[in-house]
Amino acid sequence: MSNVRGFLAVAVSIIALVAALPAAGQETLPGDACVAGQLDHIRLSGGPETSGVADILRCNGATWQSQIRFMSTGSVGVGNLAPTAAFDVTKGFAAGSTGWGENAQFLAYSTGNSASYLGVSALTATANAGATGAAHEAYGISANVRTGNDATAQKAFGVTSQLRLFNTDTGYGVVVDDDNASAAGGTAYGVYINLDDADLTRYGIYQISANPNYFAGTVGVGTPSPQAPLHVAGEAIIGKGTLACGAAQDGALRFTSSTDAWEFCNGSAWVPFEQNLSGPPGCVSIGDLCADGTVFAGWHPITHENLFIATTDQGTTSQWKTTVGANDIATDSVDDGRANTNQVANSTTFPAFKLCKDLATGGHSDWYLPSRVEAYYLWSVRDTIDAAGNITDFQNAYYWSSSEQNNNLVWTQQFSGGNQDVNSKTNAYRVRCVRR
């Protein structure tokens, strides 16, 4: 009987010892205990017991922690035990971290040292929405960046680039290109910005460095379809800066608030626009009758010289020339009618020119047939001149310009609507001579 009791005692001891041992094949799971001697040891866990979930575990000296988790769905998590994306990286940075690399969720460093390689890519993203419907979108890189809601001033960067270049290298912070394989009908935006949170101070593009910018195409402000290198659909404010006027700045504009005057650079000096000009004594306003019997018509649109007209048309049915087929003005000008007129003989072969060359109104002999630009200017101030009541009004008809278009055609000015057309030299139109 004593032998039986002894056998039972041994059996109970063995059962207790076995119960204390881990089950055969049992996986180490995240959170299981480890000892200091296993610090930084790595284990792979996963199997039927974990329903297809696998982990790469690291001992931190006390417990086993999951470093990378593989889900049965195919998702992979780094620092995340429940990844939902194909590759999900989660990392919190420690206090005192200062560098971008220390706090990076994903840090890729690629280098190439061969003279023959085409390029090095630290991160390449390809997204293909496929034929899945109009509402689907493909994002090569999508960034959702937030700051903490506390009292400190923080910054959030969706995309950041830091360039380091040498010798004749060229750096691009962001490059947007297409593969020239798109189907017709699409719309491509190099950069698309939608900042609509009214609680924020919003800048679509904010540049703090004083470097130049280059745009090869057109730029639209307030319009998606710019029709000029710079197209502003609305008001624009132009102030006076410190830009010096030289040949490189020819054509630049500025507004001088001290005199409320617009100025333009003529290649050597800033010149006020013609609204600050005044006519000669006794006929200072457009349409005024001057003492010599001529009418002040304003200022030449190019030279800003005083421009005068006679009180009546010099011809009503005059030909530019009696024949066609010849280049009659060797050095033709669209803005200098005096230069054109001086190249034409005072002959009955050129009736319109002869009317001006023979005109002596006001005691002057320097009348000429206006150029294309001068004729257009006269049309632009026609209503002002007519309203002054000192001339026989301009008629709603074609008037000759002195600007030749080719051997057969000449530019004419329509005074009814302002259009300019080319017509045969032998047609008969009206003539109004000018002088300056």
Domains in the chain, number: 3
Same domain, 254 and 319: no
Tell me which residue range forms the domain holding 306.
Answer: 295-435
Could you tell me the pLDDT band of residue 97, with boundaries at 50, 70 and 90?
low
133 vs 432: CA distance, rounded Å: 67
In the chain, the largest separation of any two C-alpha atoms, in whole Å, equals 158
Asked whether 344 and 350 are in contact (CB, 8 A), the reply is yes
SS3 375: helix
Give the Cα separation of 293 and 312 in Å (integer).
11
Co-location of 263 and 321 in the same domain: no
Q: Are residues 313 and 398 in the same domain?
A: yes
**262/302 same-domain check:** no
Cα 395 to Cα 5, 147, 342, distances in angstroms: 139, 71, 27
**CA distance linking residue 356 with residue 338, whole number of Å:** 10
Name which of 67, 177, 74, 160 is nearest 119 in CA terms: 177
The more confident residue out of 372 and 121 is 372
Residue 60, domain member (yes or no): yes
Q: Give the number of other CB atoms < 10 A from CB of residue 431.
A: 23
**Are 33 and 62 a contacting pair, CB within 8 Å?**
yes
pLDDT tier for residue 147 given thresholds of 50, 70 and 90: confident
Taking residues 233-246, report their average pLDDT: 81
| pLDDT in the model for residue 336 | 95
Burial of 77 (0-12, 13-18, 19+ CB in 10 A): buried
Residue 102 lies in a domain: no
DSSP string, 127-149: ----SS-TT----SS-------S
Same domain, 253 and 325: no
Q: Is 300 found in the same domain as 252? A: no
Name residue, tokens 């056998």: 7
Residues 349 and 309 in one domain: yes
Give whichever of 99-108, 182-191, 309-318 has the largest mean pLDDT: 309-318
Is the residue at 137 inside a domain?
no
Are the beta carbons of 402 and 363 closer than 8 angstroms? no
C-alpha distances out from residue 322 to 353, 406, 426, 427, Å:
12, 15, 5, 9
Q: For 393-411, how does the pLDDT look when each residue is reduced to its tens digit (9 = 90+)?
A: 999 999 999 999 999 999 9
82, 299, 376 from 43: Cα distances, Å: 19, 91, 88
Distance from chain centroid for Cα 371? 37
Residue 261: beta bridge partners? 256
Residues 257 and 352 in one domain: no
Confidence of residue 368 (pLDDT cuts 50, 70, 90): very high
Residue 135 confidence class, pLDDT cut points 50, 70, 90: low
pLDDT of 275 above 60:
no
The answer, yes or no, to whether residue 20 has pLDDT greater than 80, is no
d(CA 355, CA 361): 12
Spatial CA neighbour of 422 closest among 396, 394, 397, 403: 403
With CA atoms as reference, report the closest residue to 162 among 244, 230, 222, 104.
Answer: 104
Amino acid in the structure at residue 366: D
Q: Using 50, 70 and 90 to split pLDDT, how confident is the model at 16?
A: very low
Query: Using one digit for the tens of pLDDT, what is the confidence trace for 333-346?
Result: 999 999 999 999 99
Among 180-189, 307-316, 355-364, the minimum mean pLDDT is found in 180-189
> Same domain for 303 and 424?
yes
Per the CB < 8 A criterion, the answer to whether 318 and 393 are in contact is no
Per-residue confidence (pLDDT) for residue 19, from 0 to 100: 43
3-state helix, strand, coil in the chain (%, to 5): 15, 20, 65
309 has pLDDT over 80: yes
Lowest mean pLDDT among 114-128, 150-164, 238-252, 411-425: 114-128
Please tell me the distance from the alpha carbon of residue 314 to that of residue 289, in angstroms, as a whole number: 18
Of 201-205, 253-257, 290-294, 388-392, least confident by mean pLDDT is 253-257
Q: Is 220 among the domain residues?
A: no
Helix (H, G, I), strand (E, B) or coil at 188: coil
Q: Which of 12-21, 49-58, 101-110, 251-260 has the lowest mean pLDDT?
A: 12-21
Share of the chain above pLDDT 70, in %: 80
Is the pLDDT at 24 greater than 60? The verdict is no
Do 328 and 260 share a structural domain? no
- Which of the listed residues 54, 69, 88 is the one where a domain comes to its end? 88
Residues ≥6 apart with Cβ < 8 Å to 204: 193, 195
Walk across the sheet containing 270-272 and list its strands: 253-256, 261-265, 270-272
Would you say residue 149 has pLDDT above 90? no
Q: Is the pLDDT of residue 18 over 50?
A: no
Residue 42 lies in a domain: yes
Confidence band, pLDDT 50/70/90 cuts, at residue 8: very low
- 165: exposed, middle or buried (Cβ count in 10 Å: 0-12, 13-18, 19+): exposed
281 part of a folded domain: no
Q: Do 263 and 349 reside in the same domain of the chain?
A: no
Query: For residue 271, is it within any domain?
Result: yes
Query: What's the confidence (pLDDT) of residue 11?
Result: 43
pLDDT (0 to 100) of residue 254: 83
Clarify whether residues 264 and 376 are in a common domain.
no
160 confidence band (pLDDT: 50, 70, 90): confident
**Which pLDDT does position 10 carry in this prediction?**
40
Q: Is the pLDDT of residue 288 over 80?
A: yes
pLDDT at residue 181 above 90? no
Q: How confident is the model at residue 367 (pLDDT cuts 50, 70, 90)?
A: very high
Task: Tell whether 119 is covered by a domain.
Answer: no
- Higher local confidence (pLDDT), 371 or 274: 371
